[in-house]
Amino acid sequence: MSKLGKWILYLVTDASFRKERSRIDFLTKTVGSAIRGGVSVVQYREKHLPTKKMVEEAKVLRELCRSNRVLFLVNDRIDVALAVDADGVHLGQDDMPVPIARRLLSGKKVIGLTVHNEKELREAERLGVDYVSFAPVFATPTKPDHQEPMGVEKLKKLVSIAKVPAVAIGGINIDNVEQVFRTGVDGVCVVSAIMGAPNPEEATRRLLERCGNG
């Protein structure tokens, strides 16, 4: 994937799966376990915390990823990404416009964009994003307001015409990750399959095995 390296498994964080632990303890231990298991990318996603708290959490995760040579991205928040020197950002269709994001970030930073159809894919390519994330493949409780799931066949078609690296997200788990990876995507993104697993490291290894990379 050019400057992105080889992506197989991409973790998106979600602290809502924590139980008795503090947020930062849960995030650090879960992400650390996933990194040991073999995740290629970590995206810090948080929608509701005050900015100061987000920076505190993102900084810890950024250092964890840096020390393990794992790419670290921040969802939506360019200010947070800049504050912690993240490797880049992942944007949604209603977030900061890509040209402005590119202006604010250095040329070496990664910018990814969520797309749902061919029209959005072509626009993302025109804007020069580093990668796209096709979403959602399946229904997912971690983002209940998502658009109608595209399914594997539509995903396969979009992957076949994409001119930039592509990952897929939305309801991907141990039972369907293999069929999603067979569509030709460069990587698969998971949330609950790792963040909600009793043993995140083992869950990561099993997912990679299903992708033929165990």
pLDDT digits (tens, 9 = 90+) for 136-170: 999 987 776 668 999 999 999 999 999 999 999 99
Q: Where are the domains of the chain?
A: 2-210
Cβ of 145: how many Cβ atoms within 10 Å?
4
The secondary element (H helix, E strand) that includes residue 15 is none
Retrieve residue 163's tokens: 């001119």
pLDDT at 117 over 70: yes
pLDDT digits (tens, 9 = 90+) for 3-39: 677 799 999 999 999 987 799 999 999 999 999 999 9
- pLDDT score for 115: 98
Spatial distance between the Cα atoms of 119 and 34, rounded to a whole number of angstroms? 34
Nearest to 27 by CA among 14, 41, 40: 14
Nearest to 165 by CA among 110, 210, 211, 214: 110
Spatial distance between the Cα atoms of 77 and 149, rounded to a whole number of angstroms? 25
- pLDDT score for 3: 64
Per-chain mean pLDDT for the chain: 95
pLDDT at 60 over 60: yes
User: What is the β-pairing status of strands 131-134 and 110-115?
Assistant: parallel
The correct CATH number of 2-210 out of 3.20.20.70, 2.40.70.10, 3.40.50.300, 3.20.180.10 is: 3.20.20.70
Contact predicate 93/120, CB 8 Å: yes
Name the band, by pLDDT with cuts 50, 70 and 90, for residue 181.
very high
Single-letter code of the amino acid located at 145: D
- pLDDT score for 28: 97
C-alpha distance across the termini of the chain, in Å: 20
The secondary element (H helix, E strand) that includes residue 119 is helix 118-127
- pLDDT score for 153: 98
Spatial distance between the Cα atoms of 23 and 91, rounded to a whole number of angstroms? 23
